[in-house]
Amino acid sequence: MPAPSRELIRGVPFFAETDETFLDRLAEEFNPRTYAAGELMAEEGERGRTFFVIESGEAAVLVDGNEVRRLGPGDSFGEMALIDKSARSATVRAETEVRGYQLPVFSFRPIVESHPEMTWALLEALARRVREAESRT
């Protein structure tokens, strides 16, 4: 599977306003990954080390074993792992075969440090996720 397209990466809110050169550099850092239906893509409580963007397929997001959201093409998860490598706040399970791309934290940090304009967009994305989580409780 080739590198992710600019369009797929640009669909992630905190990458939306970045320039073409940045997107091309970032695409090189993603690793292709395929999950079979039923396979866990991330597990609640495990240490987060990657960010993931879905190219095709459908996944369920589970908190305490309860489905709280569905993810599909263009959706992403794991941005908090890119910031603090803390425990995952949810389990993500492939419902169908899921193809996408993982970005490891060790690749992401230097890129953000060299592009400070991404910081605000990343903060907005994290705030949105916190609000979603709070609305579930």
The predicted model scores a pTM of: 0.84
Q: Across residues 53-79, what is the average pLDDT?
A: 95
Number of domains in the chain: 1
pLDDT of 124 reads 78
The residue with greater pLDDT, 103 or 133, is 103
114 within domain boundaries: yes
Is residue 54 situated within a structural domain? yes
* Inside any domain, residue 124: yes
Buried b (16+ CB within 10 A) or exposed e, 26-47: bbebbeeeebeeeeebbebeee
Q: What is the mean pLDDT of residues 35-52?
A: 93
137 part of a folded domain:
no
pLDDT surpassing 80 at residue 82: no
Asked, for residue 62, whether it belongs to a domain, the answer is: yes
Average pLDDT over residues 76-95: 86
Cα–Cα distance between 80 and 66 in angstroms, integer? Answer: 20
